[in-house]
Amino acid sequence: MDTQESNHQGNVVCGWCSYDANPLGAKYCQKCGKPLVIASVPPSQPINNIKLAFSASWLPIFLILLLVSGISFLFWDQVRFLSIVSSLNGGSGKISPDLQSISSRSDIGLYNSMKEVPKVPDGIFNYGGAVLFASLTASGTHEAMTASHPNFRLRYTEPKDGKPGTSKGITMLIDGELSIAQIGIPLRDSDYSRAKDRGFTIEQIPIAIDGVVFYTHPDINIPGLSIDQLQAIYKGEITNWKEVGGDDVPIVPFVMDPKVANLLNVLLGSEANKVSPKVQSFRDYTEAIRKVAATPGGIAFGGAGPIVGQKSIRPLAVAAVNGKNYVSPFVEDGTRVNASAFRDGTYPFTRRLFIAIRRDGTPDETAGIAYVNMLLSKEGQKFVEKAGYVPLR
């Protein structure tokens, strides 16, 4: 049967395959078998007009479906992101204010590789901050970023006094000396206020979970310490290892210089001003490990990354309650962090690590966003794990 002749006889045209010889009243196409949704063709209406009418009638529906599918994709992508970051709040499902601000940002995403990250700017961008992030750099993270985006270069920048740390990193970010600040504690209200006074905002994005690890001279032989005991040591209330089950050896506590780091605040909280005058300070982890390894009775603490795998010192197991359920920060003979204990809180001393960026509409902001997106990519998170931290995905 001639197709054109069939159209003039009022047959039904299939909206799926355009077969136009379906008899009047048919419910399914005789060619493709799909439901017929187009009315019969009037004898006087040419086939070209029918195709135009079909296109015009379905165009609004197509556009609506396209819009709905786009919104659905964005919604589920956001849900996927929030499911990751909410785990950092103990799985409670409650999102802290800083994470809520992240969820509202369309420029923070989850990519598979660093190369997939869009809008990576060309140029040399300064970064700095907490010295515990040195293990992240040493793991090859920045080399991988440059390999994926050759014109994106990162330059480590120390403060003028040569004492890097979280506090200095935040100050340098606000002062415009850094594009990216690596920080070991959340931003404070005063940090947000200082940035606002200068006409822009700053934002923190979590990129890993870290355990605060305590370590001693290798000859200290005790099963572990509780948080209360550790606090008492740094307040000068416990001064000899025999008081906590060890040998009769004076305790020599070390800590990162309080002027550049906030580890004492992490340990002592509101009682940080009660720290013992006998606590000695160090500049960086290399110095700390050397001092503790060379000092009988020595003890110090810091992030897991720079400490994991060290053989010259002895990592301590920590308990929430004295004498009960000591949990080691490392497994596999000290070569890997105890990731499961860090994630579920069994290890009682964990924290989040952040990247702080400027929100000022400048290339610094673009660089900060690109840096965060590369760290949060699946590839970037593998480097986070290699550096001794617990990845978020």
Q: Render 138-180 in DSSP notation, one character per residue.
A: HTTHHHHHHHHSTTEEEEE---TTS---HHHHHHHHHTTS-SE
Rg of the chain over Cα atoms, rounded to whole angstroms, equals 31
Q: What is the C-alpha to C-alpha distance for residues 362 and 239, in angstroms, rounded to an integer?
A: 52
Q: Does 374 fall in a domain?
A: yes
Q: Does 82 fall in a domain?
A: no
What's the pLDDT score for residue 79? 38
Burial class (CB in 10 A: 0-12, 13-18, 19+), 320: middle
Q: Of 131, 115, 114, which Cα lies nearest the Cα of 168?
A: 131
What's the pLDDT score for residue 259? 65
Most confident stretch, 74-83, 185-194, 278-287: 185-194
Q: What is the C-alpha to C-alpha distance for residues 148 and 140, in angstroms, rounded to an integer?
A: 13
The verdict on 381 and 268 lying in the same domain is yes
Reported as a pLDDT band with limits 50, 70 and 90, residue 24 is confident
- Residues 82 and 350 sit within 8 Å (Cβ to Cβ): no
pLDDT averaged over the chain?
Answer: 82
Is the predicted pLDDT of residue 67 greater than 70, yes or no? no
What's the pLDDT score for residue 263? 80
Reported as a pLDDT band with limits 50, 70 and 90, residue 372 is very high
What's the pLDDT score for residue 80? 41
The verdict on 167 and 255 lying in the same domain is yes
Q: Does 44 fall in a domain?
A: no
Render pLDDT for 283-330 as a digit per residue (tens, 0 to 9): 788 899 999 999 999 999 998 988 999 999 999 999 988 777 899 999
Q: What is the C-alpha to C-alpha distance for residues 177 and 279, in angstroms, rounded to an integer?
A: 32
Q: What is the C-alpha to C-alpha distance for residues 356 and 359, in angstroms, rounded to an integer?
A: 10
What's the pLDDT score for residue 52? 40
The verdict on 20 and 123 lying in the same domain is no
The verdict on 33 and 127 lying in the same domain is no
Q: Does 367 fall in a domain?
A: yes
Domain CATH code at residue 261: 3.40.190.290
State both tokens at 36. 């017929």
Report the DSSP pairing between strands 123-129 and 225-226: unpaired
What's the pLDDT score for residue 186? 92
Say what percent of the chain tops pLDDT 70. 75
Report the DSSP pairing between strands 298-303 and 252-256: parallel
Q: Does 49 fall in a domain?
A: no
What's the pLDDT score for residue 92? 39
- Residues 20 and 9 sit within 8 Å (Cβ to Cβ): no
Is the predicted pLDDT of residue 3 greater than 50, yes or no? no
Q: Does 265 fall in a domain?
A: yes
What's the pLDDT score for residue 17? 60
Render pLDDT for 153-212 as a digit per residue (tens, 0 to 9): 999 999 988 888 898 999 999 999 999 999 998 999 999 999 999 999 999 999 999 999
The verdict on 347 and 244 lying in the same domain is yes
Reported as a pLDDT band with limits 50, 70 and 90, residue 78 is very low
Reported as a pLDDT band with limits 50, 70 and 90, residue 35 is low
Mean of pLDDT values over 243-264? 86
Render pLDDT for 186-202 as a digit per residue (tens, 0 to 9): 999 999 999 999 999 99
User: Greater confidence, 78 or 27?
Assistant: 27
The verdict on 114 and 32 lying in the same domain is no
Report the DSSP pairing between strands 201-216 and 314-315: antiparallel
Q: Does 122 fall in a domain?
A: yes
Q: Which domain holds residue 16?
A: 10-38
Structural domain total, the chain: 2
The verdict on 23 and 124 lying in the same domain is no
Render pLDDT for 322-366 as a digit per residue (tens, 0 to 9): 777 899 999 999 999 999 999 999 999 999 999 999 999 999 999
Q: Does 70 fall in a domain?
A: no
Q: Of 337, 273, 318, 279, which Cα lies nearest the Cα of 132?
A: 337
The verdict on 253 and 384 lying in the same domain is yes
Q: What is the C-alpha to C-alpha distance for residues 43 and 51, in angstroms, rounded to an integer?
A: 15
The verdict on 208 and 111 lying in the same domain is yes
- Residues 131 and 164 sit within 8 Å (Cβ to Cβ): yes
Is the predicted pLDDT of residue 270 greater than 90, yes or no? no
Q: What is the C-alpha to C-alpha distance for residues 393 and 192, in angstroms, rounded to an integer?
A: 28
DSSP class per residue in 127-141: EEE-GGGHHHHHTTH
- φ, ψ (nearest 5 deg) of residue 242: -65, -20
Is the predicted pLDDT of residue 101 greater than 50, yes or no? no
Please report which residue ranges of the chain form alpha helices under DSSP H.
3-8, 47-86, 97-103, 134-138, 141-148, 166-174, 189-197, 227-234, 263-268, 285-294, 304-307, 339-344, 363-376, 378-386
> Looking at the DSSP assignment, which residues form a beta bridge with residue 209?
352, 390
The verdict on 260 and 119 lying in the same domain is yes
Q: Of 300, 322, 302, which Cα lies nearest the Cα of 313?
A: 300
